[in-house]
Amino acid sequence: MNSTNRVANRLLVLIVGLLLVVVAAAAAAAVLIPTVRDAWKAIAGDVNAQVASWLQATPLGDTGVSWIMPAVLVVIVLAVILLVVFIVRQGRGHTRTVLSERTSEHGRTEVESALAANALEDAIGSRPEFIASHVSAYRVRRTPVLKIAVTCRRGVSPKDAADIVDDAVRALDELLGRPLPALVQISGGFRSRTGSSTRLQ
């Protein structure tokens, strides 16, 4: 429902995973396989000399320090900022308006999601089939979508639960005069496992 960028999530996990596999496998190979070990040792000296010459060839003014280190620092700071943005971007997408229409020349009509949420929770909340219900609104591809999450009592048929919520949503359609896309999420969970079960109808 939310606007989490799932491709980015998987990409980050994939990149970190691949890096870990490659680096770790290289490290293990460097100490376990004799030929790799010898090659590694042969290159190590050259790499050290090369990097040392780079550090000397890139002085920062007359401070005697290479500017490579501050440059690395800048890259690190940028990466940290990107990662913080990445974390903050998770789970967004709530909206407070479910309907916004230009109803006349003089203005627009906006319906807040709280109205839909209160109306639906009023209609569903008192039903004995449900232990809990929660209604929220998200914006999916610029369309406001209602999310109706209900927790069923043990043994309640999911079809009955879906029909009850469907009826309430249809009634809301009539109240608003516009149909809103809606997701119904029917779950069990701890409270339904410990609570009393439904009676046979």
Partner 1 sequence: MSTTLAKPAPRAPDARTAAPTAPARASGPTFEPVYRRIIRRETHSPRSLVAIVLAALLILALAWVGTEIVIALLGAPALLVAPVDMFTSTVGLADAPAAIVAAAGIGAAVIGLVLVIVALSPGRRARHVLASERTAVVVDNEVIASALARHASFAGNVDPDNASVSVSHRRAVVHLTPTSGIPVDRDEVTAETERRLAGYGLSPAVTARVHIAESGRIGA
Q: Which of residues 117-176 bind partner 1 (CB under 8 A)?
A: 118-120, 122-123, 140-141, 143, 145, 148, 152, 154-159, 161-162, 165-175
Q: Binders of partner 1 among 69-98, rule CB under 8 A?
A: 69-70, 72-73, 76-77, 79-80, 83-84, 86-87, 90-91
- As beta bridge partners, residue 151 has 132, 187
Give min distance, CB of 178 to partner 1, in A.
7
57 counts as binding partner 1 under rule CB under 8 A: no
Dihedral pair phi/psi, residue 72, rounded to 5°:
-60, -40
Q: How far apart are CA 129 and CA 164, in angstroms?
A: 9
Contact pick of 37, 92, 108, 191 for partner 1 (by CB under 8 A): 37
Give min distance, CB of 42 to partner 1, in A.
10
Contact pick of 19, 53, 58, 97 for partner 1 (by CB under 8 A): 19
Look up tokens 């460097």; give the residue. Answer: 30
59 counts as binding partner 1 under rule CB under 8 A: no
Q: How many CB atoms lie within 10 A of CB 144?
A: 19
178 counts as binding partner 1 under rule CB under 8 A: yes
196 counts as binding partner 1 under rule CB under 8 A: no
Interface region with partner 1, contact rule CB under 8 A, candidates 26-34, 94-102, 103-111:
26-34
C-alpha of 115 from chain center = 26
Contact pick of 8, 54, 97, 103 for partner 1 (by CB under 8 A): 8
Residue 29 structure tokens: 């190979």
| Number of residues located near partner 1, criterion CB under 8 A | 96
Q: How far apart are CA 3 and CA 90, in angstroms?
A: 7
Give min distance, CB of 105 to partner 1, in A.
21
Question: DSSP state, 178?
Answer: S
What amino acid is encoded at 73 in this protein? L
Where do runs of H (alpha helix) occur along 33-130? 34-57, 68-88, 113-125
Q: How far apart are CA 83 and CA 73, in angstroms?
A: 15
